[in-house]
Amino acid sequence: MKDAFAAKKIPMQSAEITKVASMQVPLDESGAVPCSKLIDALEDHDDVQKVYSNFSVSDDLLARLTH
């Protein structure tokens, strides 16, 4: 893909292989809040390079959690 974008002169910010979960687990607010806090804590840890998850949260709930 990287070569195809370069051939068409489409600018890219980054290119990497990423793990994508094959199954998403939808969470309501009671599950999204603690999972969000855990993800934030893991991302802030100096020894952690990347954090992956397989939960999904609705856009409305995500907007409420981030404000």
pLDDT at 53 over 80: yes
Mean pLDDT score, 57-63: 91
pLDDT digits (tens, 9 = 90+) for 14-43: 888 887 889 999 999 999 999 999 999 999
Q: Quote the pLDDT of residue 32.
A: 93
Mean pLDDT score, 46-52: 93
Q: Where are the domains of the chain?
A: 21-67
The set of long-range contacts for 55-64, using a CB threshold of 8 Å and a minimum separation of 24, is 55/24, 55/25, 55/26, 55/27, 55/31, 56/24, 56/25, 56/26, 56/27, 57/26, 57/27, 57/32, 58/26, 61/28, 61/29, 61/32, 62/32, 64/29
Tell me which of 13 and 31 has the higher pLDDT: 31
